[in-house]
Amino acid sequence: MKRRVWLWGAALATYAFLYLPLAVVVLFSFNDSELNASWVGYTTRWYRVLANDTDMLQAAANSLFIALAASTAATVLGTMAGIAMQRWRPPLLAFLVLTPVAMPEILLGVSLLLFFRQVLDLTLGLFSILAAHVTFSTGFVAIIVRARLAGMDDSLFEAARDLGATPWQSFVRITLPLILPGIIAGFLMSFTLSIDDFVITFFVAGVGVTTLPLQIYSMIKVAVTPEVNAVSTLLMALTLSLIVLAARFAPETLRARS
């Protein structure tokens, strides 16, 4: 009995440590005060302020577009890389695909900036952000897809060919359904990585285009207003629904496998 109390206590403390800051943000987004200091009263004012903040809305739209486009591209590239890494094990591929994952973000940001400006002479903006996000997301998708394939019997794919499927039919009918949970998990992973990326985006954004994390950062340089809490709460809600979706479509990516 004593042991059980202790366990529950430890669990509660851990959850509190993880989720209390998030709960405070959500709570204070409804606080009727200019300051983020003490609770005054309930209001939805900050959400109205947010709805009229065109800069913030533009940044959110940019972030969403970039996250969707970058994670889609990263999912396609990463899936191909993951399959190739598992099936043919070409030398160097794994190293090349996974390096951006291990690289410190600050290094990746600087080198992408230099590459876009000095080598390609590109005008920084939506495209450069998009390209940067694809760069660091692809490796994550590849890792997840490869791990999924590694747990499978290779003779499944030979059996498909053996039973009359062309390589394409075999991919669509057998490989794709079997790795789909990995692909969905990879997509969601890239999406969340992209939508909250700050460091790399900061280097490659240029002056014209801004994303949600950059916008929030520029706001708190002035003062932390409850509007920041409101936008964070919405971002949290979006992420949470993505996780719920993922659990629904690909339960085994979130559940321990038996």
**Distance, C-alpha 207 to centroid of its chain:** 24
Provide, rounded to whole angstroms, the least separation between the CB of residue 85 and other proteins: 21
Nearer to other proteins, 14 or 169 (CB): 169
**Which residue from 97, 98, 83, 92 is spatially nearest to 152, judged by alpha carbons?**
83
Beta bridge partners of 42: 31
Nearer to other proteins, 159 or 244 (CB): 159
Using rule CB under 8 A, residue 96 touches other proteins: no
Nearer to other proteins, 130 or 183 (CB): 183
Provide, rounded to whole angstroms, the least separation between the CB of residue 98 and other proteins: 28
CA torsion, points 68, 70, 72, 74, in degrees to nearest 10?
-150
Using rule CB under 8 A, residue 178 touches other proteins: yes
Neighbours of 41 (CB within 10 A): 8
Which DSSP symbol is given to 124?
Answer: P
Nearer to other proteins, 145 or 160 (CB): 160
**What three-state secondary structure class fits 102?**
helix
Tokens (6 digits) for 184: 């969905």
Provide, rounded to whole angstroms, the least separation between the CB of residue 179 and other proteins: 11
Provide the residue type at 76 as one letter: V
| x/- map, 129-158, other proteins, by CB under 8 A | ------------------------x-xx-x
* 108 membership: H or E segment, kind and range: helix 105-114
Q: Which one of residues 23, 173, 220, 249 is an interface residue with other proteins (CB under 8 A)?
A: 173
**Which residue from 5, 187, 173 is spatially nearest to 79, judged by alpha carbons?**
187
Q: Which one of residues 32, 34, 162, 252 is an interface residue with other proteins (CB under 8 A)?
A: 162
Nearer to other proteins, 40 or 159 (CB): 159
Provide, rounded to whole angstroms, the least separation between the CB of residue 170 and other proteins: 8
Q: Which one of residues 164, 207, 208, 255 is an interface residue with other proteins (CB under 8 A)?
A: 164
- What angle (nearest 5°) sits at the alpha carbon of residue 12, between those of residues 10 and 14? 70
Tokens (6 digits) for 196: 């909250």
Provide, rounded to whole angstroms, the least separation between the CB of residue 159 and other proteins: 4
Q: Which one of residues 165, 184, 234, 242 is an interface residue with other proteins (CB under 8 A)?
A: 165
Give 97: exposed, middle or buried? Use CB within 10 Å, 0-12, 13-18, 19+.
buried
Binding site for other proteins (CB under 8 A): 153, 155-156, 158-166, 169, 173-174, 177-178
